[in-house]
Amino acid sequence: MSLPRNLVGLAEAMRTHGLEVGSTETTTAAQAIEVLGLDDRRTLREALAATMVRSADGRPVFDQLFDLWFPSAPGARATDLADADVDALREELTRALADADERRMDEIAAATLELLGRVSPDDESRGWSSAQAVDALAPQRLIAPAQELGRGNGDEQGEGQGSGSGGFTDRIDRDELRSRVAEFRQRVESEARRRNTAVRPKERIARYGVEGPADQRDFLAMSSKDLDAMKRQLDPLARKLEAKLSRRRRAHRGGIDVRRTLRAAMATGGVPLDPVYEQRNRHRPDIVLIADMSGSVGGFSGFTMLLMQAMQSQFRHVKMLGFVSSAADITHVVKDAPPGVSLTSWALSQAALTARGRSSSYGTAFADVLAEHGDAIGHRTTVLVLGDGRTNYADPGVDALREIGRKSRTTVWLNPERSSSWGTGDSAADDYARVITMHECRNVAQLRLFVERHLV
């Protein structure tokens, strides 16, 4: 494939993964290649990243796709580790981690994939698996030996200078070594993508083997580790959304006040005529969340509730009602939840939320909301229902939901499932969507867009 086609293919793959890359960025990247050439691959990577990636969030996706469209030389790399076994690779990696030797880690990553990453030992056409290789090598077990080795090297270099190591220094060293192990994993993944381009179409690898930006990953497909990582971004996300909502509220103004406009124009004889606008009362809504806390969608509900809690200054009042098979007020629990706690695991252990079982029961939950918390819903209230609408073939409670919508200012359902799945199996999403407005909200990007457009 020619260089222009490679560049266009890279841009198309980036767009497929949700990155904004237009013709301007692609043209600028081509000009950068013309100036810098192709001799230094690292320089080429940085130049294309600078011209094609608009935000730091898109850089990990770009790096994965760059390895596919601009790979280094095909085939196995020639290193002095060609005959090394697993123990020898671990020993070499321990030294490389202790010395922060990036070039050596590249060589070890290539040798690791060659030795341990073949999907089929007798058939290279089956490709290579980075996960298989990393699991077999287990680099995380080398952190302690690498720390000991690094401490020994440091003692030799700092002997007689009064240097010492304490608990704080040890923690810093361990954190640094963990980050190096993570970088080594990425090197193995990059090597696997390079090798796999020789046996599989790069377009297929880009579609199925490249992780998209964190804010575009489906909530329902996230592991607990991924959700914890996303929760660490809650405060920056909340601050950005609060700033946007505040600007929009300030920008909203009423109609022209004719009397005040004419009075102001008398001083200038009507030239110029500056319109005076009516003051618009800024509305800060009450928010009531009705959240399915069951295992299937608990991660999405928990993240959304924590986001609303972080943005509470934008609302007059925030009340959170959680349910599995019965509903209860969990506002204070969410407010006081320590970082990293799993609200889903907590919810499944609470009798107040599981009075009728540990499976989702939307009908009984909506009935509980009306009976026990109906006074929290009024003409100033925006109700957000969080859940996938899968009723386990029980009563969906459509009439109760209709009554909630009638009592509130507005009621909106945020569904973490794809809209194409609504109404399939035990999903009553189509029935609910006929009563209130339902939005697909599969990832953080869609959640952020909803907040920006609708919670004003």
Whole-structure pTM value? 0.69
Contact 103, 93 (CB under 8 A): no
Q: Given this model, what pLDDT does residue 166 score?
A: 56
Share of the chain above pLDDT 70, in %: 92
The amino acid that residue 401 corresponds to is L
Q: What is the DSSP letter of 141?
A: G
User: How many whole angstroms separate alpha carbon 262 and alpha carbon 380?
Assistant: 35
162: which residues sit within 8 A by CB, 6+ positions away? Answer: none
317: which residues sit within 8 A by CB, 6+ positions away? Answer: 286, 287
Among residues 193, 190, 213, 187, the alpha carbon closest in space to that of 21 is found at 213
Give the class (CATH, top level) of 224-253+283-455. Answer: alpha beta
Contact 339, 306 (CB under 8 A): no
Name the stretches of the chain with pLDDT < 50: 158-165
Structural domain spans, the chain: 3-72, 86-152+168-202, 224-253+283-455
Side by side, the strands of the sheet bearing 317-323 are 327-329, 317-323, 286-292, 381-386, 410-415, 437-440
| Residue 254 φ then ψ, to 5° | -85, -170
Q: Given this model, what pLDDT does residue 162 score?
A: 42
Q: Given this model, what pLDDT does residue 3 score?
A: 87
Give, in order, the Cα–Cα distances in Å from 243 to each of 239, 247, 250, 314, 451.
Answer: 6, 6, 11, 10, 12
Q: Given this model, what pLDDT does residue 282 score?
A: 61
Q: If DSSP codes are grouped into helix, strand and coil, which group holds residue 375?
A: helix
